[in-house]
């Protein structure tokens, strides 16, 4: 419940005699106005100050003597951490964590600049891994969501630099991100952190697939392992947030196959050895199903419909049609589950995905041979009709909301 919701709804409750005016004020006091928005300002401010300092120093770095450079780096670090600790001890959590985050950014800048001074950065990524280690340690030390997100970003930057500039993959960085931050999220489940953490892991997974030069569909084995991790989380919203990025990646992949699978020129990039791929995917599926069963969420196993390996079909129209079938199966199952669970938000999401799939199917199957004016006319009528039908179903499924 938010303050905005209380400010909107509580006057009606007072008029209807559900609560008294005094109780309304007591409820409002529980939710201070704009506390979160105000709390974010110091964090954003610290980031801007850090970027400004980095830009200024970087522009004049080469002209400074080494002694001055080292003095600047150490002084900036000590100032950021000590003032951050000062504010934290006085109860100003937002400013304190913001300054600690600034110190973490300066620590990374110090590693890069020091390595440049002694020409080390082009040969070894160990220093940058230390940056990720420091971020993980600070996340545990202060228990901060901001530092968690910052460390996920740092891990992605370190891995991106390593694969892009050094032509190697840092398994230490990947392991530190997966295990270090994964354990923290497991002990402190949070929806926002779950989504960010999963996105960060997917980014590093994509870099690994590119580094190994293997078929791109291998990406979905570790991606669905991340999904399965969410199945074992007892906090359902946090676990679902963890599963969002892998499902979004699988949906976009299938959507891309539906749109461009007919070309067939790149289908060889999609097909790993069948038995090895299916065996790996089945192992992850079993881990996922075990987690769903342990948490009583077996009905969500329909998410795995997106992983049906339709890309083994011959390239061309069969591949595009197979991708559309997978998309319809997934969106249909999502709508079925949403209506069964009376989950209005999921109904809205499922409806949007279903309409998007229908648009793609209509475009693929009619664009080349149908008159363009007739194409748009029928497409418009189809979407309007579909929208009316789905809204009618939603109104029937959630009559209480309509009455309100």
What does the pLDDT read at residue 357?
A: 83
What does the DSSP 8-state code read for residue 64?
Answer: S
Q: What pLDDT digit, counting tens, does each position of 225-257 carry?
A: 999 999 999 888 899 999 999 999 999 988 888
What does the pLDDT read at residue 402?
A: 44
Contact assessment for residue 47 and residue 80, using Cβ atoms and an 8 Å cutoff: no
Nearest-10 Cα torsion for 232, 235, 240, 241: -120
Q: Specify the higher pLDDT residue, 316 or 322.
A: 322
What does the pLDDT read at residue 401?
A: 47
User: Looking at residues 155-178, what average pLDDT do you find?
Assistant: 88
Q: What pLDDT digit, counting tens, does each position of 195-231 carry?
A: 999 999 999 999 999 898 888 889 999 999 999 999 9
Q: Which of 44-58, 66-80, 127-141, 305-319 has the lowest mean pLDDT?
A: 44-58
Give me 28's structure tokens: 């409002």
SS3 234: coil
What does the pLDDT read at residue 403?
A: 44
Q: How far apart are CA 152 and CA 1, in angstroms?
A: 29
pLDDT level of residue 121 (50, 70, 90 thresholds): low
What does the DSSP 8-state code read for residue 17?
Answer: T
Q: What pLDDT digit, counting tens, does each position of 331-377 carry?
A: 888 888 877 777 777 777 887 888 888 878 777 766 666 555 565 66
pLDDT exceeds 70 at position 54: no
pLDDT exceeds 60 at position 264: no
Sequential DSSP letters for 79-134? HHHHHHHHHHHTT-HHHHHHHHHHHHHHHHHHHHHHHHHTT-TTT--HHHHHHHHH
């Amino acid at each position: 419940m938010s303050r905005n919701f209380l400010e909107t709804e509580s006057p009606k409750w007072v008029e209807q005699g559900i609560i008294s005016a005094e109780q309304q004020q007591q409820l409002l006091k529980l939710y201070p106005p704009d506390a979160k928005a105000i709390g974010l300002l110091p964090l954003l401010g610290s980031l801007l100050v850090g970027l400004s300092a980095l830009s200024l120093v970087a522009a004049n770095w080469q002209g400074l003597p080494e002694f001055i450079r080292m003095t600047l780096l150490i002084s900036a670090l000590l100032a950021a951490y000590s003032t951050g600790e000062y504010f934290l001890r006085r109860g100003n959590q937002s400013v304190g964590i913001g300054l600690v985050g600034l110190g973490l950014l300066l620590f990374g800048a110090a590693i890069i600049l020091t390595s440049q001074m002694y020409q080390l950065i082009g040969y070894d990524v160990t220093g940058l891994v230390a940056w990720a280690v420091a971020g993980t340690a600070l996340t545990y030390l202060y228990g901060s969501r901001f530092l968690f997100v910052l460390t996920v970003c740092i891990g992605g930057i370190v891995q991106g630099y390593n694969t892009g500039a050094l032509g190697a993959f840092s398994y230490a960085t990947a392991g530190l991100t997966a295990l270090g931050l994964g354990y923290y999220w497991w002990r402190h489940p949070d929806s926002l952190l779950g989504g960010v953490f999963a996105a960060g892991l997917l980014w590093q997974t994509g870099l690994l697939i590119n580094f190994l030069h293997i078929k791109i569909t291998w990406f979905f084995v570790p991606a669905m392992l991340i999904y399965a991790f969410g199945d074992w989380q007892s906090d359902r919203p946090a676990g679902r947030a963890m599963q969002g990025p892998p499902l979004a990646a699988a949906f976009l992949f299938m959507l891309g196959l539906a749109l461009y699978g007919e070309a067939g020129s790149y289908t060889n990039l999609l097909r790993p050895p069948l038995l090895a791929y299916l065996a790996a995917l089945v192992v992850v599926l079993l881990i996922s199903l075990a987690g769903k069963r342990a948490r009583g969420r077996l009905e969500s196993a329909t998410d795995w419909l997106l992983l049906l390996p339709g890309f083994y079909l011959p390239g061309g129209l069969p591949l595009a049609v197979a991708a559309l079938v997978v998309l319809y199966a997934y969106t249909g199952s999502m709508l079925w589950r949403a209506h069964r669970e009376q989950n209005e938000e999921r109904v809205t999401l499922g409806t949007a995905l279903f309409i998007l799939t229908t648009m793609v199917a209509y475009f693929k199957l009619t664009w080349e041979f149908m008159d363009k004016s007739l194409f748009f006319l029928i497409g418009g009528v189809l979407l309007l009709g579909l929208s009316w039908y789905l809204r009618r179903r939603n109104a029937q499924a959630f009559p209480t909301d309509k009455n309100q």
